[in-house]
Amino acid sequence: MKRDDKMMKKAFIFGLISACLMFTACGFSKSHENIDLAVTAVLNGEYENAMDFLEKAGEKGENKEDLHRVRGIALMELARYDEATEEFLESLSYNKGYVKSQDKDTSYYLAVAQYRNGCFSDAKDTYSAIIGLYPEESDAFLQRGKTELRLNETDNAIADFNRAVRIDKDDPDLYIEIYECLNSAGMKDEGNKYLKDAMEISTKLTSLQKGKLYYCQGEYEQAKNALESARNEGAKGGVTLYLGRTYEALGDTNYAASLYRTYLEENPTDIEICNQLGLCCLEMGDYEGALSSFEQGLSVPDNEYEQTLKYNRIVAYEYLANFEQAKVLMKEYLKEYPADEAAIRENGFLNTR
């Protein structure tokens, strides 16, 4: 999950808990008790249980705005984005023209559900609505820019990224994330401008941020030193991913894989690390290990790397010379992602086997 998703999820759950505490303090806990239980279930990753509590909440006439909001996030975690979208819209319909802070959180989740469901124009409209109410919300500009990249509106995306950094000009992670978005979209030169700007606020950079910037700029020895310092300092937020990638770039793939495996022992649901370990195993010729890593990532609900992991799993089966299974999975993949040109080309190769 990216920086923005984690931040929104934390804010959203905090908003849910605050709302529950408010009801309890006012003496209305009985009208909210099943929603409270659903929130606890969501926090524990028990999404189906949360749905059961919410059904009871509906039967007992508990607060409808909160009920639909919590149901929306549970459905998001279950990757049921169509239904989540409807729930968030239903929750927002109860604001009666008075916009509360929790509505902003709900709107962010609505946009994420729309984005993950491939409804990029709808997601853009939702981010635009947030910006209309909160014109200094840098994250809304960042997310709208990402959405515009998916719509091939590159000029609009750059304009929104520039607005985001004008609002939050001292946040190095913001510059790094914009670079990563542009690099993934084949716009590395444009992304490099943001890295350069980030380095100019060097007095405010942590070891982790320096390491990320050095890695993005291809200065791997400096990246390694900064990232090792960050790890020794107990830094969180991507240190393992970037340190592993740095060792891979320096040619020490075995050590990178050991870093990923050690990390996953304590964080088995980190899908980005699962994917990176799989790629690392492919590079080392450990195709069974690669397949296992991709499947571990795919077992995690609410999976923004699902498409990447599914494609990489097909590649792993090809390396294992299990072409029949690769063909079956490719057929399923192309039904879900018919516009993936790389997959179309790969399918042509598979059909010759």
Domains of the chain: 1-117 (1.25.40.10), 264-353 (1.25.40.10)
Q: Kindly report the pTM of this predicted structure.
A: 0.76
Say if residue 293's pLDDT is above 90: yes
pLDDT band at 78 (very low <50, low <70, confident <90, very high): confident
Residue 169 has pLDDT above 60, yes or no: yes
Residues 337 and 343: beta-carbon distance below 8 Å:
yes
| pLDDT > 70? residue 20 | no
Q: Please report which confidence band the pLDDT of residue 321 belongs to, taking 50, 70 and 90 as the band edges.
A: very high
Q: Looking at per-residue confidence, does 268 or 22 come out higher? A: 268
Q: Residue 203: pLDDT band by 50, 70, 90 thresholds?
A: low
Residue 31 is predicted with a pLDDT of 74
**Averaged over 19-31, what is the pLDDT?**
47
Query: Which of 141, 207, 219, 149 is closest to 180 using CA atoms?
Result: 149
Say whether pLDDT at 309 is over 90: yes
Cβ(124)–Cβ(144) under 8 Å? yes
The pLDDT, as a whole number, for residue 202 is 63
Distance separating alpha carbons of residues 309 and 299, to the nearest angstrom: 10
Tell me which residue has tokens 């959180």: 105
- Per-residue pLDDT tens over the stretch 93-146: 987 666 677 889 999 999 999 998 889 999 999 999 999 999 999 999 999 999
What is the pLDDT, as a whole number, of residue 98?
61
Note the pLDDT of residue 58: 92
3-state secondary structure of 283: helix
Integer Cα distance of 90 and 101 in angstroms: 17
Q: What would the mean pLDDT of 36-58 be, rounded to a whole number?
A: 91
**How does residue 28 score in pLDDT terms, banded at 50, 70 and 90?**
very low
pLDDT tens digits for 337-353?
887 888 999 988 888 88
CB 15 within 8 A of CB 101: yes
Sign for the CA dihedral angle at 2, 101, 70, 19 comes to: positive
pLDDT at residue 27 is higher than 50: no
> What is the C-alpha to C-alpha distance for residues 165 and 200, in angstroms, rounded to an integer?
13
pLDDT at residue 123, rounded to an integer = 97
Rg (CA), the chain: 22
Average pLDDT over residues 40-64: 91
Length of the chain equals: 353
Answer with the residue of higher pLDDT: 236 or 110: 110
Average per-residue pLDDT in the chain?
87
Greatest alpha-carbon pair distance for the chain in Å reads 69
Which of 51, 25, 27, 28 lies closest to 38, judged by CA?
A: 51
Residue 48 structure tokens = 């189906």
Question: Among 23-27, 37-41, 216-220, 242-246, which stretch is predicted with the lowest mean pLDDT?
Answer: 23-27
